[in-house]
Amino acid sequence: MGGLRAGCGGICAGVDLFFVLSGFLITGILFDTRNDSQFFKRFFVRRSLRIFPVFYLAVAVLLALTPILHYQWRAGHLLFLVYLGNFLGNHEFSNYAILSANHAAFSANIGHFWSLCVEEQFYMLWPVVVWAIRDRIKLIWTAFGISLLALALRCVMLSTAGPVVAERWIIRTLPFRMDTLLIGAILALLLRGPNADRWQRLCRPTFLVFSSLAVAIFVFSPAFDSPWLLTIGLTVIALASAGLIGSTLRAGSPAFRLFYLKPLRIMGKYSYGFYIFHAIFIWAWIQFLVRLYFFFHHSIVIAGVIELTTAFAVTFLISKLSYDLYEVRFLRWKRHFEYDSELSEHKHAFTTK
């Protein structure tokens, strides 16, 4: 488990980018619909229709494979069904795996689900805050204050528990990651104010400055349990991510042109399924890499390219099939839970014809 811990435990800027993006999108939805007549019901049902089907499909597949691969389930694995598995997983890393008794290479890795747990916990709490406060400026200051608290909690955890133990909890637990999500929330709220254009123009220099700082931290303190990375580094990466997201909103900008490329838009469509499926059988893919390494006369470059290309293609195909044949059936139900503003638009559209 040590290798998995180092790989999954080390900070991944991609995960942080998605956390910021999630905070940005979700806060935008929550703020725009805060006066909806069925605010909580519509939000939670719509989120459930997007998140639950493919996640529980993956669980169902693992259960179906259990008689064949003799998976050794633990009571702690049940917590992942209610998106609390990261707490027990951080306490004992072996809970991030479902071992196979007869085919070790096909043991299931569920370590990446810690980030889904963090997001779901955020989805349960932040809507209550937005609904209770409602005022944009007060929400910004609230998010800012909680972000400072998250940074302070990371510093306390690091100083009291030490870097190895602290890394487990800081990286994978909501109280220590709140600023990553809330920096995205702050961006969404700033861009809904009277000075939105000015804030948006500041996003590009924000991205350049904080991405440079992030690179410097990676270079001079590269360890996965680096004190710099586990404290201010997470905030720096989040600010760089917010700058990148804000930069993509200006039509014609380099960031906009890059992320509007069709291949990236297609990947965005299937990204959630890709996230769910990509690492479940990571040990099987590692075994595949090892075999390629020896087959191609110890060329790690050739073996790595083939393994990554194959893994990407297989995961993309599974994600596409999951979305096109399964997930869309649930997503269609969102039309039964439209917000008041959407219903109003439909009403006006009908009356003008």
**How confident is the model at residue 345, as a pLDDT?**
67
For 218-262, how does the pLDDT look when each residue is reduced to its tens digit (9 = 90+)? 898 888 888 999 999 999 999 999 999 999 998 888 888 998 899
pLDDT digits (tens, 9 = 90+) for 76-104: 999 999 999 999 999 999 999 999 999 99
Quick one: how far is CA 200 from the chain centroid? 23
Task: Give phi and psi for 87, each to the nearest 5.
Answer: -65, -50
User: What's the pLDDT band for 351 if we cut at 50, 70, 90?
Assistant: very low
Tens digits of per-residue pLDDT, 26-58? Answer: 999 999 999 999 999 999 999 999 999 999 999
* Whole-structure pTM value: 0.91
Question: Is the pLDDT assigned to residue 352 strictly greater than 50?
Answer: no
Reported as a single tens digit per residue, the pLDDT across 274-311 is 999 999 999 999 999 999 999 988 899 999 999 999 99
Q: Could you state, in order of their start, the residue ranges of all structural domains in the chain?
A: 2-263
Q: How far is CA 281 from CA 55, 108, 348, in A?
A: 15, 5, 50
Q: In whole angstroms, what is the distance from residue 321 CA to residue 178 CA?
A: 34
Q: Does residue 11 have a pLDDT over 80?
A: no
pLDDT level of residue 346 (50, 70, 90 thresholds): low
> Cα separation of 119 and 177, whole Å?
10
Is 6 a residue whose pLDDT tops 60? no
Q: What would the DSSP string read from start to end of 329-343?
A: HHHGGGGGG--HHHH
Give the CA distances from residue 256 to residues 209, 237, 330, in Å, rounded to whole numbers and listed in that order: 19, 20, 30
SS3 108: strand
Q: What is the pLDDT of residue 39?
A: 95
User: Inter-axis angle of helices 114-133 and 163-172, to 10 degrees?
Assistant: 60
134 and 34 in contact (C-beta within 8 Å)? yes
Mean pLDDT for the chain overall: 91
- CB-based contacts of 152-155 (< 8 A; 24+ apart in sequence): 154/230, 154/231, 154/234, 155/231
What are the φ and ψ backbone dihedral angles of 33, each rounded to 5 degrees? -115, 20
Residue type, 336: H
Query: Where does the pLDDT of residue 5 fall: very low under 50, low under 70, confident under 90, or very high at 90 and above?
Result: very low
Q: Is 12's pLDDT higher than 60?
A: no
Overall average pLDDT of the 203-207 stretch: 95
Amino acid at 237: I
How would residue 10 be classed by pLDDT, with cut points 50, 70 and 90? very low
Whether 350 shows a pLDDT value over 80: the answer reads: no
Which amino acid is located at 218 in the chain? F
